[in-house]
Amino acid sequence: MIEKIQKTEEQWQAELDELEYKVLRQAGTERPFTGKYYEHSEKGTYNCRACGHALFKSEHKYHSGCGWPSFWGELETADIKHKMDRSHGMTRIELLCPACDSHLGHIFNDGPKPKGLRYCINSVCLDFEADEK
70-99: burial string, b at 16+ Cβ within 10 Å, e else: bbbbbbeebebeeeeeeeeeeebebbbbbb
Contact by Cβ (8 Å): 54, 78: yes
Is residue 120 part of the annotated active site? The answer reads: yes
Is residue 107 within 8 A of residue 118, CB to CB? The reply is: yes
Residue 132: predicted pLDDT:
87
Q: What is the pLDDT of residue 15?
A: 96
CA 71 to the chain's CA centroid: 9
- Which CATH number describes the domain made up of 41-130? 2.170.150.20
pLDDT of 88 reads 82
Q: Check residue 69 and give its pLDDT.
A: 98
Residue among 51, 100, 120, 125 flagged as catalytic? 120
The full set of domain ranges for the chain reads 41-130
Query: pTM of whole model > 0.85?
Result: yes
- Where the chain has pLDDT below 70, the residues are none
The separation between CA 34 and the C-alpha centre of its own chain, rounded to angstroms, equals 15
How much is the pLDDT for 54?
98
